[in-house]
Amino acid sequence: MNNLRIGYGYDIHRLEEGYPLILGGVTIPFEKGLVGHSDADVLLHAITDALLGASALGDIGNHFPDSDDKYENIDSRILLRNVIELIAQEGYKIVNIDATVVAEQPKLAPYISKMREQIAEDLEVGKDQVSVKATTSEGLGFEGEGKGISVLTVALLTNR
Ligand code: MG
């Protein structure tokens, strides 16, 4: 009998000039980038939180506090790989991940395939187990005004 575990992740980062825009480990050319203590990869953060949620291991802030200098400007792929190890230790593996990036600009369609590939590599799963979708918020709210990007994610785990 499969023990299935679902987890939910949500994250937001501010968009400002003078920062790189890194989403799903892919650097995207744009006039603004995401601000954060780490590299501010909002997509990887939401995925990391969904995985922690599915395994009831707390949240990304518990594991990698932004008060800790060792996480300053850290590549979020390192945090994600760290959590993959934790969930493996708990006896779980990933069934699939689904993420929605809410961003008015830039258009993300040309980068989605590369993001999925990169995330799948870090998660040690197939690309077909990783879905990344993009939507605008029709000009409404902070995403619509170009002030930030948010990401919603679900992750499904099962026994190893
Ligand atoms: Mg974050």
pLDDT per residue of the chain (160 residues) written in tens, 0 to 9: 579 999 999 999 999 999 999 999 999 999 999 999 889 999 999 999 999 999 999 999 899 988 888 888 889 999 999 999 999 999 999 999 999 999 999 999 999 999 999 999 999 999 999 999 999 999 999 999 999 999 999 999 999 8
d(CA 145, CA 36): 19
Tell me the CA–centroid distance for residue 61 and ligand 1, in Å. 8
Which residue in the block uniquely carries the two structure tokens 């994610």?
153
Output the CA 2–ligand 1 centroid distance in Å: 31
Tokens of 80: 């994600």
The pLDDT of residue 1 is 54
Res 68: pLDDT: 86
Query: 38 C-alpha vs ligand 1 centroid, how far in Å?
Result: 8
Question: Residue length, the chain?
Answer: 160
DSSP codes, 54-119: HTT---HHHHS-TT-GGGTT--HHHHHHHHHHHHHHTTEEEEEEEEEEE-SSS--GGGHHHHHHHH
Distance 41 CA to ligand 1 centre (A): 7
CA of 18 to the centre of ligand 1 (A): 18
65 C-alpha to ligand 1 centroid (Å): 11
CA of 95 to the centre of ligand 1 (A): 23
Ligand 1 centroid – CA 104 distance (Å) = 19
State the distance from the centre of ligand 1 to the C-alpha of 139, rounded, in angstroms. 23
Q: How far is the CA of 127 from the centre of ligand 1 (A)?
A: 23
Residue 123 and residue 84 in contact, taking contact as beta carbons nearer than 8 Å: yes
Distance 50 CA to ligand 1 centre (A): 12
Structure-token match 């000039």, residue found: 17
- Give φ, ψ of 2 to 5 degrees: -75, 135
